[in-house]
Homo-oligomer: A and B are copies of this chain.
Amino acid sequence: MSEQSSGGRRTGRAGIREVARLAGVSPITVSRALATPDRVSPETRSRVVEAVTAAGYIPNRVASSLSSNRTRLVAAVVPTLRNSIAADFIDGLSTVLHENNYQLLLGNTDFSKETEEQLVVEFLARRADAIYLTGSTHTDRTRSLIREAGLPAVEVATLPGDPIDMAVGISNEGAVYEMVKYLHRRGRRKIAFFSSLTTDNERQIERQNGYKRAIAELRLEASSNLIYEMTLDLANAARSLDRLLKTRPDVDALVCTSDILAIGALFECQRRDIPVPGKMAITGFEDLELAQHVRPALTTIQIPRFDIGARAAQMLLDRLAGKSIDRKVLDLGFKIIPRETA
């Protein structure tokens, strides 16, 4: 009857005590042999390793997290992974995290900052060691929760004036501003603007601000019937172009905040035999691989997608390692890629 530790609610799995027993050492020595092998004598180490194999021991990180007060978990919040460059960021983040023996906890908000707040609460409850947020639009509670927890945090894809903690991204405002000026230099004067939804999405708002600032500086026509906002897909871009041309057949250029929208508009022009760039110039944002393969090839804004995620991971890891951060807001820059559509 009476086994070694019969009481309570055991989980069936071999634990550190069992391994310790097999190796003829104490539990804490097993812990050290696995976590910090060089603080244990070679013989002890090999006896422990043997015992681990024999017992089929898989350490319980839940227990170790509770005890050490560290989870080696980074939580990330994205709006969505569908049709989204967020997937590229996360790929970069995940890759660097795994290389450093951290794991990724992922949540999607469907573009709602209230949902984001719920996720952040859940991530704090799980005691994630650091947090990755897409963009800089958050509820006040999200911000204070993270700050009060003292959690390393990085906001991604934009350059907030007042980051919660750190940020990596590009100037969305600047990128579109430059693009409008580029179009102006190439003789365009009636410039329309397509963005995806601006709800809880400051990246889109910043891009729209870049457009407006350039239009104002260049003394071009500023009109609300030149600005369209839509869900991010090809079909909506085509539909919006249809509406735009009905009210404003005089438009000679179209700045889009995504390659998807730009390509949707380009295809619609081709269906209507509107020459691009002859009658209509079109520009995108992101530089998807597709951009260089459509004909005419898409003039667009290139951003370092994988790198943004990877650098975000690195910044979090540096902070977790106690290193000092030189720049809290890291601008990875954009580049206008002139191709054929503008």
For this complex, 28 residue pairs linking A to B, each with C-beta atoms less than 8 Å apart, are: A11-B69, A58-B121, A60-B66, A60-B125, A61-B122, A61-B126, A61-B127, A62-B126, A63-B66, A66-B66, A80-B91, A81-B81, A81-B87, A81-B91, A81-B94, A90-B106, A98-B107, A98-B119, A103-B105, A103-B122, A106-B106, A233-B289, A234-B293, A235-B289, A238-B293, A267-B293, A270-B295, A290-B290
Q: Is A65 an interface residue (CB 8 A)?
A: yes
Interfacial chain B residues near A83, Cβ < 8 Å: 289
- What is the minimal beta-carbon distance from A96 to any residue of chain B, in angstroms? 11
> A270-310 interface mask toward B, CB cutoff 8 Å, 1 = contact, 0 = none?
11000000000000000001100111000000000010000
Q: With A62-B71, A98-B119 given, name 9 new contacts (CB 8 A).
A: A62-B66, A81-B81, A81-B94, A82-B87, A82-B88, A87-B87, A105-B106, A234-B289, A263-B293
CB atoms of B290 and A234 under 8 A apart = yes
- A59 at the B interface (CB under 8 A): yes
- Check if A44 is an interface residue, CB within 8 A of chain B: no
Contact A81 B71 (CB under 8 A): no
CA distance A135 to B80 in the complex (A): 23
The oligomer's copy count stands at 2
> Contact check: which of B56, B94, B122 meets A106 at CB < 8 Å?
B94
Q: With A and B bound together, what is the CA distance between A56 and B295 in angstroms? A: 57
Which residues of chain A in 73-88 are interfacial with respect to chain B, using CB atoms and an 8 Å cutoff? 80-84, 87-88
CA distance A337 to B321 in the complex (A): 53
Q: Are A105 and B104 in contact (CB under 8 A)?
A: yes
Q: What's the minimum C-beta distance from A269 to chain B, rounded to whole angstroms?
A: 12
Given contacts A80-B91, A87-B82, A107-B98, contact A267 B289 (CB under 8 A): no
A105–B108 touching, CB < 8 Å: no
| A327 interface residue per 8 A CB criterion | no
Which residues of A119-162 are within 8 A (CB) of B?
119, 121-127, 148
